[in-house]
Structure 1
Amino acid sequence: MTRLITQLHPEILLPPDAMARVDAAAANSGIDSLGLMLRAGEAVAAAALRHFPGALRFVILCGPGNNGGDGYVAASALARAGAEVCVYSLVETAALKGDAARAQTVCPLPVMAIERFEPKAGEVIIDALFGAGLTRDLPGAVQALIRAIREAGLPVLAVDLPSGIDGATGEIRGEAFEASHSVTFMTRKPGHVLLPGRLHCGSLEVFDIGIPRRIVEAEACSLWVNGPAIWAGHARDSSAQDHKYRRGHVTVFSGPQTATGAGRLSAEAALRGGAGLVTLASPREALATNAAHLTAVMLSAIDDADDLLEWLADTRRTTFVLGPGFGDRQRARAFAEMMGEAGRKLVLDADGITAFTGAAERLNAIFKCDEPRLVVTPHEGEFSRLFPEIAADRSLGKVEKALAAASALGGIVVYKGADTVIAAPDGRAAIEEKAPATLATAGSGDVLAGIIGARLGNGMPAFEAACAAVYQHGQAALRAGRTLTAENLITHLQPD
Structure 2
Amino acid sequence: MKPVITPAESARLDRASTVPAAALMEAAGFAVAIAARLGYGDSVAVLTGKGNNGGDGWVAAFHLARRGAKVIVHEFARPSPGSLADSMRSRALDAGIRVLAINALWEPSLIIDAVFGVGFTGQLPAAIVPWTESGVPVLAVDLPSGVEGGTGGVDGAAFAAQRTVTFHALKPAHLVGPGADYCGLVTVVDIGLTGERPLWLFAEMSDAPIRGRDRHAHKWSVGSVAVVGGSAGMSGAPVLAARAAMAAGAGAVTVVGPGAAMGAIPPELLSQTVGGGDRFAGGDEDAVLELATRFDVLVLGPGAGSSSDATLADIAARWPGPIVVDADGLRAIANDSRIAERRAPTVLTPHAGELETLRSYPGESAPDIARRYRAVLVEKGNPSFVHWEETWVVTSGGPELATIGTGDVLAGIIGAFLAVGQPPAVAARSAVYWHGVAGAKLRSARTLTASLLVDAVARTLAAVPTGATE
What range describes the TM-score normalised by the shorter chain of this pair?
0.7 to 0.9
Structure 1 residue 464 displacement after superposition: 0.8
Structure 1 residue 220 displacement after superposition: 3.2
- 1:200 is matched with which residue? 182
- 2:167 is matched with which residue? 185
* 1:386 maps to which of 350, 355, 358: 358
Change (3 A) 1:185 1:304: same
Provide, for residues 330-385 of structure 1, a one-character-per-residue CA deviation record: whole Å limited to 9, x for no partner: x23432333323333222222222334xx44x25x4233577x2222222222222
Structure 1 residue 422 displacement after superposition: 1.3
* 1:366 maps to which of 339, 343, 346: 339
* 2:436 maps to which of 454, 464, 474: 474
* 2:315 maps to which of 331, 338, 345: 338
Contact 2:317 2:342 in 1 (8 A): no
Q: Secondary structure at the match of 2:220?
A: coil
The letter of the residue matching 1:102 is S
* Structure 1: unaligned runs, 5 residues or longer: 1-9, 394-400
Q: Secondary structure at the match of 2:113?
A: strand
Contact 1:343 1:367 in 2 (8 A): no
The letter of the residue matching 1:228 is M
- 1:296 is matched with which residue? 268
Question: Is 2:30 the partner of 1:22?
Answer: no
* 1:228 maps to which of 205, 216, 224: 205
Contact 1:194 1:431 in 2 (8 A): no
The letter of the residue matching 1:377 is T
Contact 1:273 1:454 in 2 (8 A): yes
* 1:263 maps to which of 238, 246, 257: 238
Identity of aligned residues (%): 36
- 1:412 is matched with which residue? 376
Provide, for residues 406-459 of structure 1, a one-character-per-residue CA deviation record: whole Å limited to 9, x for no partner: 2233212211122111111x2x11212121322111111111111111111221
Map 1:11-410 → 2, pairs under 5 A: 11-26=2-17, 29=18, 31-53=19-41, 55=42, 57-93=43-79, 95=80, 98-108=83-93, 109=97, 111-114=99-102, 116-118=103-105, 120-134=106-120, 136-141=121-126, 145-146=128-129, 148-211=130-193, 215=194, 218-221=195-198, 223-232=200-209, 235-287=210-262, 290=263, 292-302=264-274, 303-304=280-281, 306-313=283-290, 315-329=293-307, 331-356=308-333, 359-360=334-335, 362-363=336-337, 365-368=338-341, 373-387=345-359, 389=361, 392=363, 401-410=365-374
Structure 1 residue 469 displacement after superposition: 0.7
Contact 2:132 2:158 in 1 (8 A): no
- 1:7 is matched with which residue? none
Q: Hey, what's the Cα distance between the residues in 2 that align with 1:236 and 1:317?
A: 18
Structure 1 residue 196 displacement after superposition: 2.5
Q: Hey, what's the Cα distance between the residues in 1 that align with 2:81 and 2:353?
A: 46
Q: Hey, what's the Cα distance between the residues in 2 that align with 1:96 and 1:337?
A: 69
Q: Secondary structure at the match of 1:176?
A: coil
Change (3 A) 1:122 1:73: closer
Q: Secondary structure at the match of 1:58?
A: strand
Provide, for residues 12-63 of structure 1, a one-character-per-residue CA deviation record: whole Å limited to 9, x for no partner: 222222222222232xx3x22101101111111121122312x4x3211112
The letter of the residue matching 1:153 is G
Contact 2:230 2:302 in 1 (8 A): yes
Map 1:433-448 → 2, pairs under 5 A: 433-448=395-410
Q: Hey, what's the Cα distance between the residues in 1 that align with 2:124 and 2:373?
A: 39
Q: Secondary structure at the match of 1:106?
A: helix
Contact 1:322 1:332 in 2 (8 A): no
Q: Hey, what's the Cα distance between the residues in 2 that align with 1:344 and 1:270?
A: 17
RMSD: 2.4
Change (3 A) 1:318 1:381: same
Q: Hey, what's the Cα distance between the residues in 1 that align with 2:355 and 2:319?
A: 26
Q: Which has the higher helix share?
A: 1
The letter of the residue matching 1:176 is A
Q: Secondary structure at the match of 1:12?
A: strand
Question: How does the TM-score come out when normalised to structure 2?
Answer: 0.88
Question: How does the TM-score come out when normalised to structure 1?
Answer: 0.84
- 2:277 is matched with which residue? none
Provide, for residues 469-493 of structure 1, a one-character-per-residue CA deviation record: whole Å limited to 9, x for no partner: 1111111112334242111111111
The letter of the residue matching 2:242 is A
Q: Secondary structure at the match of 1:236?
A: coil
Q: Hey, what's the Cα distance between the residues in 2 that align with 1:317 and 1:370?
A: 17
Contact 2:283 2:311 in 1 (8 A): no
Contact 1:430 1:467 in 2 (8 A): yes
Q: Hey, what's the Cα distance between the residues in 2 that align with 1:337 and 1:129?
A: 57
Question: Is 2:437 the partner of 1:449?
Answer: no
Structure 1 residue 468 displacement after superposition: 0.7
* Structure 2: unaligned runs, 5 residues or longer: 275-279, 465-470
Contact 1:339 1:345 in 2 (8 A): no
Q: Hey, what's the Cα distance between the residues in 2 that align with 1:369 and 1:45?
A: 55
Contact 1:248 1:276 in 2 (8 A): yes
